[in-house]
Amino acid sequence: MTRAFLGVSLIAVLAGVVGAFVMLKGLAFIGDAIAHASFGGLVAAMLLGLPLHLGALAFALATAAGLTALGRRTGLRADTSLAILFTGAFALGVLGLASRPNFTGDLTALLVGSVLAIRLGDIYWILAAAAITGVVLLTSFRHLVYISFDPSGAEAAGLPVAGLQWLLLSLVALTVVVSLQAVGVVLVVALMITPAATASLFVRRLERLLAAAVACGLAATWIGLYAAFSLSPPPGATVVAVATAQFTAGLVLRKLLRRRPPGAGSAGTTA
């Protein structure tokens, strides 16, 4: 449980920061697509006897590069390119995994994840991913913000938009790969998008959005893991369910605040 709390908390921080940029660019399904594509890399690494993270990262980065290249060279819409790349890579993974006798068990573990199976080596991977993401944001934060809000203006200003987009997608790929052990292929996108979406209900400035997304992700992680420890539901799914409940509560709260009459709750004044 100690490793689970530490590992998933680090993932919540990493996913909250990267997810805010993904949400701003309107690519909410990019995490899901890269997660499914990296599944093929996981299977390839498993069959070849290589570290699983390396196989998953190779396929994830290849998907990010392919998405950038298809968009610029063929003019395909982002959602079309995503569908082609992630379904193809995922199908290769399923075909490879089908050759193993314990096909069903391996598939379930990789799709759903196993928070309590996080090892010390996995935490080192997560720390390395967080360090790389931190360095990239420190050196390229303004440029990434620019291409997120106005890619056409960034290109007119002479910025390498394609390279910066690949860099952002690579951060997404890195986040997805190090999160697979904890929440699996299917649920990893929720930790990346839902906390950022919850934060966006109340925050507009990007710096505050990043901090609020991390806070929402950490809260969902701690509450979900504690509930899983006490009640024994699947930990990964519980964390995502709590994050979804946060978003729902945020929607209700924002609606109530908007219905509140102006000046309600403040001291009355006399003419």
- Using the predicted structure, report yes or no on whether residue 242 has a pLDDT greater than 80: yes
As a whole-number percent, the residues of the chain with pLDDT over 70 amount to: 84
- Using the predicted structure, report yes or no on whether residue 264 has a pLDDT greater than 60: no
Range 235-238 contact pairs with CB under 8 angstroms and sequence separation of 24 or more: 235/4, 235/115, 235/116, 236/112, 236/113, 236/114, 236/115, 236/182, 236/183, 236/184, 236/187, 237/112, 237/187
198, HSE (Cβ side, Cα atoms, 13 Å) = 28
Amino acid at 159: L
User: What CATH topology corresponds to 2-184?
Assistant: ABC transporter involved in vitamin B12 uptake, BtuC (1.10.3470)
pLDDT for 185 equals 65
**Domain ranges (residues) in the chain:** 2-184
Angle at 97 between CA 93 and CA 101, to 5 degrees: 175
- 141-184 confidence digits (pLDDT tens): 888 888 877 777 888 888 888 788 888 888 888 888 888 766 67
Under a CB-based contact definition with an 8 Å cutoff, are residues 22 and 200 in contact? no
SS3 sequence of 16-76:
HHHHHHHHHCCCCCHHHHHHHHHHHHHHHHHHHCCCHHHHHHHHHHHHHHHHHHHHHHCCC
- 50-77 confidence digits (pLDDT tens): 877 788 888 888 887 877 777 666 666 6
